[in-house]
Structure 1
């Protein structure tokens, strides 16, 4: 009887040390951080129609850029990535590319606004511009938090003793971190000549 109790106690200790709880905890944390990234992008997507409507009223001649922003927003909103897709680098890259196109379109819009100061003087547009800037900051923070959670998860499933539980019980695969697009380390050129 004492041997059986000792075996049960020993089994419990061994199972608790093999990542039985730490693997799903780390995975759920990474998925929650991904949801934060999606929420930040959704906030941006929700602001864009208001920004576009405000700017259209004041700058009808800039219809091409505004149309591009609207199309980029629609494209960015159409690419969805669930927590289960985070192990597929191609799907993460597709999501990043769509969001990057929207960011590029917004940059062109903001350059246009800089070019035409009378638009910046409108209080409503200034408010929306501040909200958009705050949203971009939220996106950056959410991406950073997601990448930290992915790093913790990937470390958990690759280190002993959690690696045992990760493979045996969960078949865990590493998640893909959010990465900057190639060339994003180069500052954009602003040209007011055109």
Structure 2
């Protein structure tokens, strides 16, 4: 073998090892996204299970608020369906974006439900409702932490898939950009709390 052939074989071997390493890294990062979404999914399921109970307690006191209660139920079902789709493809930008939109709708409906709760002192004082609301708040906090983990994993994956020369492997093998899961609170809910004396 000539020196040129030896150098060519060595360069080819280095490229093959780099390509395998880059591909495996992208697969690992995509799998981390899936695992991170699974953590969100556990909390979303818990929230989806709590919402019907909350609606049922509210229905006892505010039966004439049927439209609000039905809107919460419909939004919950829509968000649950979007979560089911995102669960099968957590790195797919379209599925995660659809989930974020459905979660935004659910957050708005839940906000209207909580406004109804505020309007009925006997409902607000109900022990079951308070316990459900506390559990829902705890679940929302866990969703926030899980969302942060998911978004960190998504950022790592997107960075790896977009940086040269790994982006060559990503485009060759169809590694698409993953979407971040945005917070589901409205601008009004993000407003600073005002203290009145």
> If the TM-score is normalised by the length of the shorter chain, which range does it land in?
0.7 to 0.9
TM-score, normalisation: structure 1: 0.78
Q: Aligned pair 1:42/2:48, yes or no?
A: no
Contact 2:33 2:91 in 1 (8 A): no
Contact 2:52 2:73 in 1 (8 A): yes
User: 2:105 is matched with which residue: 101, 104, 107?
Assistant: 101
Q: Aligned pair 1:84/2:89, yes or no?
A: yes
Contact 1:157 1:172 in 2 (8 A): yes
Contact 1:19 1:163 in 2 (8 A): no
Contact 2:33 2:90 in 1 (8 A): no
Greater relative CO, 1 or 2 (CA 8 Å, sep 6+): 1
Stretch of structure 1 that moved more, 104-113 or 67-76 = 67-76
Q: Distance in 1 between matches of 2:117 and 2:186?
A: 22
Contact 1:85 1:92 in 2 (8 A): yes
Aligned to 1:23: 26
The structure with the greater share of residues assigned to helix is 2
Give ranges in structure 1 of 5+ residues lacking alignment.
190-194
TM-score, normalisation: structure 2: 0.77
Q: Aligned pair 1:69/2:72, yes or no?
A: yes
Residue 27 of structure 1: CA displacement? 0.7
CA offset digits 1:163-191 (Å, max 9, x no partner):
344344x331111112357x9334489xx
What secondary structure does 1:178 align onto? coil
Stretch of structure 1 that moved more, 78-87 or 94-103 = 78-87
Contact 1:22 1:162 in 2 (8 A): no
Q: Distance in 1 between matches of 2:120 and 2:190?
A: 19
Q: Aligned pair 1:111/2:127, yes or no?
A: no
Aligned length: 184
Q: Distance in 1 between matches of 2:133 and 2:183?
A: 23
Residue 48 of structure 1: CA displacement? 0.7
Aligned to 2:195: none
Give ranges in structure 2 of 5+ residues lacking alignment.
192-197
Q: Aligned pair 1:156/2:160, yes or no?
A: yes
Residue 93 of structure 1: CA displacement? 2.8
Contact 2:79 2:103 in 1 (8 A): yes
Residue 152 of structure 1: CA displacement? 0.2
CA offset digits 1:91-130 (Å, max 9, x no partner):
4332222221111111111111122222122211111000
What secondary structure does 1:47 align onto? helix
- List structure 1 runs of 4+ shifted beyond 4 angstroms: 7-10
Aligned to 1:192: none
CA offset digits 1:50-87 (Å, max 9, x no partner):
11112212332322211221121122222222453633
